Amino acid sequence: MNNFPTRNSLVSATYFHGYILTMNESPFVHLHDPLTLEVIHELDLRKSKNKPDTLRIATMTAHGMVDKNSGIWWNLGCGLDTSSTIPKVGYFVMWSDNAGFKAPGEAPSTPQARFLIGLSQN
């Protein structure tokens, strides 16, 4: 248990609000400078302001992607919904509007409050 979740985010990389976003199956994602690849921000999706308080994120896919037509970034995950006496497995979708490509030299977006999380029980 002391080894999870890992902050190693070398599974997948995609463009995200002017950064390069790297991820793995944990709730941690990193935003890198697109030229130097230096980590500028480490985000813990468990702390998203839009996450339901009753959702305990366990894992997510490492393959979020930006829809090239809408510019929306999407990803999926699962965890526990603790809103009732007996916790249930909860599946969630994360998205971030306007995450698509920015023009060269255009300042990256601020990463705070970029993740909107919705919960659907199964």
The domain ranges of the chain are 12-121
Amino acid 119: pLDDT = 55
Taken as a whole, the chain contains a residue count of: 122
What digits encode the pLDDT tens for the residues 80-120? Answer: 888 889 988 888 888 888 887 776 667 676 654 345 555 55
Greatest distance between any 2 Cα atoms in the chain: 51
